[in-house]
């Protein structure tokens, strides 16, 4: 009877495609919006992802997320080094400094100052130049997206000329020379990322009493990171987080204090509701259109269980196709937007959530139809 | 001798209804569709239920076919009382032992003729290949051997009713009920359909009930039960 169920479904081409369209649209909306949300949340801790070498990040106790900078005294890195189980601890500067562009405009940049000796905390990949080139005078390394975008020179005719190695720029009224181009993950606010040494960053930065943003810590082999964090906290009075915990802290902050989850949540819920409305109603209409035939099958001996199986099979088929098309379209959109500013990240968990959402839509649609068919009196077949 | 004759007569009785009642609605909208129906249908005969609209013909075959529950009285079909059966037992019984021919044919529009005919076998769990082979064979017997792959809307009314007859016959049921089998057909086609029904359906082990108010096909009946206002007013033998 599975064969009959599928032929009943596919025979009504308009309704069949209508249900699939509804489910595909719902699946697309849920998956795509969730992927953008996840992508955006991933960007909130992109700097943590890029800086993968340290095991532990030491910050002021009041810091709530990665960009919530509360400077520390430079001597704190020495205190951290003295904690048992620490292999090395280096200072890192992170701050928003203004770059003056050749056309006179200003652009805020994320300036990262790396430990002068080790250059730990550098970009995850170099496209041109070497990280050690930062040891040259006034040297900075700029991310590959910004050189063509926000930091590009704009000619009088409007054309943009990418920044190149050897070009100079002004960072907070200080000369900076581009010595390398690196690859980084897009930050949440999409500012250019500029790497330099810690000592040079403190020259670029406005004068303050304390200028160190983080102490990056590598644990000795075999150390329990949680215990080491607690030891550092006890000894220094600072906060110490593993990279994973710092990421969670950052995401939680954005979830709690920004409207981002609500905005995306509304769209995802709308996708779900639209899915139920379109697919549910079309599926129900399909059942109503076929009610005489379901009655005929019932009169001819089809049990409620058999009809239930037929409807569930129909729902499962349209659900699978709709889900596949929706997720496929979302992936394609994600792939096409790969080189744009759009944040898009589709982990497997999201595919699972989307699948569950589509399953719920299908189950709800099928349940309404099943109720109608189970309550159907087979005597309907004798009504003309 | 007398006892043996009575036993034989009892064995020949396919449907036995006594004091059958059915009402629809409640209070001021209550309608007494059947008011104490007494009827016997024997195996090997074609019994026609005739009468004006609203006389209770369709209600009566619905109860006999087990698609509607009675309110009172008795109705025994081949020794089985549907009221004593659970819902799924009743459904299974219908699937195995009752064939239906409907006024509007009720062929599934997206299935071919052969697929439509195979439905009762598929419901009864017969393998698809066997069901389709048997469906094609019986379609050949009703003269539609070359139209097995046609969809219902590609067939004429008469051809559709032949497909419906083949579907009702395929699983070799004990009782076949037909609701106005010729009302959607012209006279000549209706006549041919009735000839086919008589030829194929009426058999010694099978009972056959036709609801109609088409007087032109009365000649095909073995007996005619006239109904009016929920009663059987007369039963007339035609042979």
Q: Do A300 and B123 touch (CB under 8 A)?
A: yes
Residues of chain B with C-beta less than 8 angstroms from the C-beta of A382: 58, 61-62, 67, 102-103, 179
Is residue A72's pLDDT more than 80?
A: yes
Residues of chain B with C-beta less than 8 angstroms from the C-beta of A297: 119, 123
Sheet of B175-179: strand order equals: B98-101, B175-179, B207-212, B46-50, B223-228, B231-237
Q: What is the pLDDT of residues A17-32, one digit of tens each?
A: 988 988 898 899 889 9
pLDDT > 70 in chain A, percent: 100
Q: Do A303 and B96 touch (CB under 8 A)?
A: no
What phi and psi, each to the nearest 5 degrees, are found at residue A370? -60, -45
Q: What is the pLDDT of residues B65-77, one digit of tens each?
A: 999 999 999 999 9
Name which of B59, B60, B91, B160 to mutate to probe chain A: the one with the most chain A Cβ atoms within 10 A of its Cβ: B91
Average pLDDT over residues A312-329: 93
Out of B65, B128, B179, closest to residue A3 by CB: B128
* CA atoms of B207 and B79, how far apart (whole Å): 13
Helix residue spans in chain A (DSSP H): 2-11, 13-44, 46-50, 76-81, 144-148, 198-204, 225-236, 243-257, 260-275, 281-289, 291-299, 304-336, 348-374
Amino acid B172: pLDDT: 87
Q: Are B131 and B118 in contact (CB under 8 A)?
A: yes
Calculate ∠ Cα B104-B132-A316, nearest 5°.
Answer: 80
- Per-window interface: A 277-306 vs B, CB < 8 A: 292-293, 296-306
Q: How far is CA B101 from CA A95, A293, A314, B62, B239, in A?
A: 84, 13, 27, 12, 24
Reported as a pLDDT band with limits 50, 70 and 90, residue A90 is very high
- Per-window interface: B 91-130 vs A, CB < 8 A: 91-96, 98, 100, 102-104, 106, 108-111, 115, 119-120, 122-124, 128
Amino acid B10: pLDDT: 58
Q: What is the pLDDT of residues A347-372, one digit of tens each?
A: 999 999 989 988 888 888 888 888 88
Is residue A150's pLDDT more than 60?
A: yes
DSSP-assigned letters across all residues of A213-231 = -EEEEEEPTT--HHHHHHH
Name which of B90, B104, B123 to mutate to probe chain A: the one with the most chain A Cβ atoms within 10 A of its Cβ: B123
**What is the least distance, in Å, from the CA of A340 to any CA of chain B?**
47
Amino acid A89: pLDDT: 94
Average pLDDT over residues B117-142: 92
* CA atoms of B112 and A210, how far apart (whole Å): 84
* Residue of higher predicted confidence among A51 and B200: A51
* CA atoms of A246 and A156, how far apart (whole Å): 45
Q: Are A65 and A44 in contact (CB under 8 A)?
A: yes
CATH class name, domain B2-237: alpha beta
Helices B187-200 and B157-169, axial angle in degrees (round to 10): 20
Helices B87-97 and A304-336, axial angle in degrees (round to 10): 90
What's the mean pLDDT when you consider all of chain B? 88
Is residue B6's pLDDT more than 60?
A: no
Is residue A274's pLDDT more than 60?
A: yes
Question: Among the listed ranges A25-34, A121-130, A225-234, A272-281, which one has the minimum average pLDDT value?
Answer: A272-281
Average pLDDT over residues A116-126: 93
Q: Do B115 and A378 touch (CB under 8 A)?
A: no
Q: Are A124 and A193 in contact (CB under 8 A)?
A: no
Interface check A12 vs B, CB under 8 A: yes
* CA atoms of A307 and A2, how far apart (whole Å): 10
Amino acid B50: pLDDT: 93
Other C-beta atoms lying within 10 Å of the C-beta of residue A168: 12
Residues of chain B with C-beta less than 8 angstroms from the C-beta of A304: 87-88, 91
* CA atoms of B217 and A32, how far apart (whole Å): 65
Other C-beta atoms lying within 10 Å of the C-beta of residue B3: 7
What's the DSSP call for residue A277?
Answer: I
- Tokens, residue A95: 């701050």
Amino acid B4: pLDDT: 45
Name which of A10, A293, A299, A308 to mutate to probe chain B: the one with the most chain B Cβ atoms within 10 A of its Cβ: A299
Q: Do A296 and B100 touch (CB under 8 A)?
A: yes
Is residue B26's pLDDT more than 90?
A: no
Among residues A66, A26, A64, A62, the alpha carbon closest in space to that of A42 is found at A66
Out of A8, A377, A384, closest to residue B108 by CB: A8
Is residue A2's pLDDT more than 90?
A: no
Average pLDDT over residues B89-98: 92
Q: Are A127 and A96 in contact (CB under 8 A)?
A: no
Residue ranges per structural domain of chain A: 2-43+259-382, 73-237
Q: What is the pLDDT of residues A73-82, one digit of tens each?
A: 989 999 999 9
Reported as a pLDDT band with limits 50, 70 and 90, residue A384 is low
Amino acid A106: pLDDT: 87
Among residues A306, A323, A303, the alpha carbon closest in space to that of A363 is found at A323
Is residue B7's pLDDT more than 80?
A: no
- Tokens, residue A12: 């009504």
Helices B113-123 and B128-141, axial angle in degrees (round to 10): 130
Residues of chain B with C-beta less than 8 angstroms from the C-beta of A296: 100, 102, 106, 108
Average pLDDT over residues A118-131: 93
Q: Are B208 and B46 in contact (CB under 8 A)?
A: yes
DSSP-assigned letters across all residues of A231-271 = HHHHHHSSEEEEHHHHHHHHHHHHHHHSSHHHHHHHHHHHH
What's the mean pLDDT when you consider all of chain A? 90
Average pLDDT over residues B8-12: 60
**Smallest CA–CA distance from A307 into chain B, residue:** B123
Q: What is the pLDDT of residues A180-207, one digit of tens each?
A: 999 998 888 888 999 999 999 999 988 8
* CA atoms of A156 and B72, how far apart (whole Å): 98
Is residue B8's pLDDT more than 70?
A: no
* CA atoms of A230 and A236, how far apart (whole Å): 10
What's the DSSP call for residue A185?
Answer: P
Amino acid A290: pLDDT: 87
Q: Are B235 and B224 in contact (CB under 8 A)?
A: yes
């Amino acid at each position: 009877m599975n064969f009959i169920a599928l032929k009943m479904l596919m025979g009504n081409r308009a309704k069949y495609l209508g249900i699939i369209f509804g489910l595909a649209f719902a699946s697309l909306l849920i998956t795509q919006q969730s992927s953008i949300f996840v992508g955006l949340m991933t960007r909130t801790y992109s700097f943590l992802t890029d800086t993968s070498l340290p095991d532990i990040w030491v910050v002021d106790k009041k810091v709530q997320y990665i960009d919530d900078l509360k400077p520390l005294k430079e001597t704190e890195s020495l205190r951290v080094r003295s904690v048992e189980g620490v292999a090395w601890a280096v200072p890192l500067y992170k701050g928003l400094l203004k770059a003056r562009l050749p056309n006179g405009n200003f652009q805020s940049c994320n300036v990262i100052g790396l430990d002068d000796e080790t250059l730990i905390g550098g970009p995850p990949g170099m496209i041109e130049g070497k990280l050690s080139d930062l040891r040259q005078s006034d040297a900075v390394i700029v991310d590959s997206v910004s050189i063509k975008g926000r930091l590009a020179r704009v000619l009088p005719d409007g054309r943009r000329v990418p920044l190149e190695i050897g070009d100079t720029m002004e960072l907070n009224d200080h000369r900076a020379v581009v010595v390398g181009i690196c690859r980084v993950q897009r930050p949440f606010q999409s500012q250019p990322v500029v790497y330099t040494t810690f000592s040079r960053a403190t020259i670029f930065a406005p004068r303050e009493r304390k200028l160190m943003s983080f102490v990056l810590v590598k644990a000795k082999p075999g150390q329990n990171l949680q215990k080491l964090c607690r030891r550092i906290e006890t000894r220094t009075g600072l906060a110490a987080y593993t990279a994973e915990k710092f990421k969670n802290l950052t995401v939680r902050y954005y979830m709690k204090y920004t409207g981002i989850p609500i905005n995306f949540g509304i769209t995802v819920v709308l996708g779900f509701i639209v899915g139920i409305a379109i697919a549910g109603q079309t599926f129900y209409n399909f059942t109503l259109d076929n009610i005489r035939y379901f009655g005929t099958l019932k009169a001819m001996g089809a049990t409620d269980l058999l009809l239930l199986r037929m409807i569930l099979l129909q729902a499962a088929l349209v659900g699978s196709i709709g889900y596949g098309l929706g997720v496929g379209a979302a992936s394609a959109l994600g792939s096409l937007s790969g080189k744009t500013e759009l944040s898009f990240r589709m982990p497997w968990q999201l595919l699972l959530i989307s699948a569950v959402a589509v399953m719920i839509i299908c189950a709800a649609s099928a349940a309404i139809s099943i109720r109608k068919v189970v309550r159907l009196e087979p005597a309907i077949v004798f009504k003309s | 001798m007398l006892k043996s004759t009575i036993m034989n007569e009892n064995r020949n009785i396919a449907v036995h209804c006594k004091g059958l009642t059915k009402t629809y609605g409640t209070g001021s909208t209550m309608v007494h569709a059947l008011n104490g129906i007494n009827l016997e249908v024997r195996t090997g005969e074609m019994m026609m239920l005739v009468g004006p609209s609203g006389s209770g013909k369709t209600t009566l075959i619905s109860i006999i076919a087990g698609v509607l529950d009675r309110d009172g009285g008795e109705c025994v079909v081949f020794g089985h009382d549907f009221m004593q059966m659970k819902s799924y037992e009743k459904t299974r019984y219908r699937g195995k032992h009752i064939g239906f021919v409907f006024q509007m044919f009720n062929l599934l529009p997206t299935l071919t003729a052969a697929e439509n005919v195979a439905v009762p076998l598929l419901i009864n769990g017969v393998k698809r290949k066997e069901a389709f082979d048997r469906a094609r064979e019986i379609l050949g017997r009703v003269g539609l051997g070359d139209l097995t792959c046609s969809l219902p809307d590609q067939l004429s009314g008469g051809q559709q009713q032949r497909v419906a007859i083949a579907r009702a016959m395929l699983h070799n049921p004990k009782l076949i009920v037909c609701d106005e089998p010729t009302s959607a057909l012209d006279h000549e086609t209706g006549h041919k359909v009735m000839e086919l029904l008589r030829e194929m359906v009426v058999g010694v082990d099978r009972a056959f009930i036709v609801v109609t108010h088409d007087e032109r096909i009365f000649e095909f009946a073995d007996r005619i039960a006239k109904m009016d206002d929920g009663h059987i007013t007369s039963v007339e033998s035609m042979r």
